[in-house]
Amino acid sequence: MGHTYTTCHGAPDDFIGTFLVPVYDDTPRANPMPWDTKTVSRYEDFFEGGRFLTGLLPLALLRAKNMGLQVVVRDRRKWPTIPDQADLRSVVEQIPGFEHRGYQYAAVDALVRKKRGMWAAATAAGKTTMLGLAHARLQLPTLVLTPPARKDIAVDTVRFYQEVMGLPARLCDGKLEDAFVSVACAALVLSRLTRDPGGTREWLSRFQLVALDECHELSEGLHQILSQVGAPYRVFMTGTPNPRNMVRALRMMGHSGPVIHRATIKELVQQGYVAQPVVLPLVYWQPEGMPGHLEYQEVYRELVVDSERRNFFVGQVVRVLRHFGHTVLVTSPWKQHCYTLGESIDGAVVYTGDQPTKEREVIRQRAREGELKVIVGNSPAEVGISIPAITAIVVVGAGKAPCLTIQRVGRGMRLKEGGGDWLLVVDLVDMLGPTASWDSSTKGITRQAVKRRNLYLAEGMKVLRRSDSLKELMQVAERYDRR
Given a contact cutoff of 8 angstroms between Cβ atoms, the answer to whether 254 and 148 are in contact is no
Domains 89-263 and 269-479 share a fold: yes
| pLDDT over 60 at 18, yes or no | no
Higher pLDDT, 11 or 477: 477
The predicted pLDDT at position 211 comes to 96
DSSP label at 348?
E
Higher pLDDT, 289 or 220: 220
Record the pTM: 0.80
Report the alpha-carbon distance of residue 16 to residue 476 in Å, rounded.
56
Condensed to tens digits (0 to 9), the pLDDT of residues 291-304 reads: 556 677 777 788 88
The predicted pLDDT at position 289 comes to 61
Given a contact cutoff of 8 angstroms between Cβ atoms, the answer to whether 482 and 324 are in contact is no
The predicted pLDDT at position 39 comes to 42
Confidence grade of residue 463 (pLDDT, cut at 50, 70, 90): very high
Report the alpha-carbon distance of residue 313 to residue 308 in Å, rounded.
9
Helices (H), 244-348: 246-255, 265-270, 296-300, 308-323, 335-344
387-394 mean pLDDT: 81
The predicted pLDDT at position 46 comes to 58
The predicted pLDDT at position 30 comes to 35
Query: What is the domain partition of the chain in residue ranges?
Result: 5-66, 89-263, 269-479
CATH of segment(s) 89-263: 3.40.50.300
| pLDDT over 90 at 233, yes or no | yes
Q: Which of 17, 24, 28, 26 is nearest to 63 (CA)?
A: 17
Confidence grade of residue 281 (pLDDT, cut at 50, 70, 90): very high
What's the sign of the alpha-carbon dihedral 122, 187, 175, 228?
Answer: positive
Condensed to tens digits (0 to 9), the pLDDT of residues 111-139 reads: 999 999 999 998 778 888 899 889 888 99
Condensed to tens digits (0 to 9), the pLDDT of residues 323-375 reads: 998 989 998 888 889 999 999 898 899 988 788 878 888 888 888 788 888 99
Average pLDDT across the chain, whole number = 81
Cα 396 to the center of its chain, rounded Å: 20
Confidence grade of residue 449 (pLDDT, cut at 50, 70, 90): confident
The predicted pLDDT at position 14 comes to 61
Give the range among 34-43, 250-259, 329-338 with minimum mean pLDDT: 34-43
450-463 mean pLDDT: 87
144-154 mean pLDDT: 87
Q: Which of 329, 289, 318 is nearest to 436 (CA)?
A: 289
Q: Which of 444, 393, 453, 391 is nearest to 420 (CA)?
A: 391
Looking at 3.10.20.30, 3.30.930.10, 1.10.287.1770, 3.40.50.300, the CATH number of the domain 269-479 comes to: 3.40.50.300
Report the alpha-carbon distance of residue 247 to residue 329 in Å, rounded.
32
Phi/psi of residue 236, each to 5°?
-110, 145
Higher pLDDT, 123 or 394: 394
Confidence grade of residue 470 (pLDDT, cut at 50, 70, 90): very high
| pLDDT over 50 at 27, yes or no | no
Opening angle at CA 369, ends 215 and 404, nearest 5: 25
Condensed to tens digits (0 to 9), the pLDDT of residues 256-266 reads: 988 999 998 88
Report the alpha-carbon distance of residue 1 to residue 51 in Å, rounded.
9
Confidence grade of residue 385 (pLDDT, cut at 50, 70, 90): low
| pLDDT over 60 at 2, yes or no | yes
449-460 mean pLDDT: 85
**Alpha-carbon dihedral 142, 148, 151, 156, rounded to 10 degrees:** -50
The amino acid occupying position 465 is R
Phi/psi of residue 114, each to 5°?
-85, -25
The predicted pLDDT at position 382 comes to 54
| pLDDT over 70 at 457, yes or no | yes
Higher pLDDT, 452 or 439: 452
The predicted pLDDT at position 48 comes to 59
Angstrom CA distances, 289 to 153, 299, 439, stand at: 40, 9, 7
Helices (H), 369-424: 379-382, 402-410
| pLDDT over 60 at 236, yes or no | yes
| Residue 201: CB atoms within 10 Å | 13
Reported residue count of the chain is 483
What percentage of the chain has pLDDT greater than the value 90? 31
The predicted pLDDT at position 237 comes to 93
In 150-195, which ranges are E strands?
169-172, 181-185
Higher pLDDT, 185 or 286: 185
Report the alpha-carbon distance of residue 446 to residue 440 in Å, rounded.
10
- Using DSSP's 3-state secondary structure scheme, residue 98 falls into coil
Given a contact cutoff of 8 angstroms between Cβ atoms, the answer to whether 330 and 375 are in contact is yes
The predicted pLDDT at position 348 comes to 92
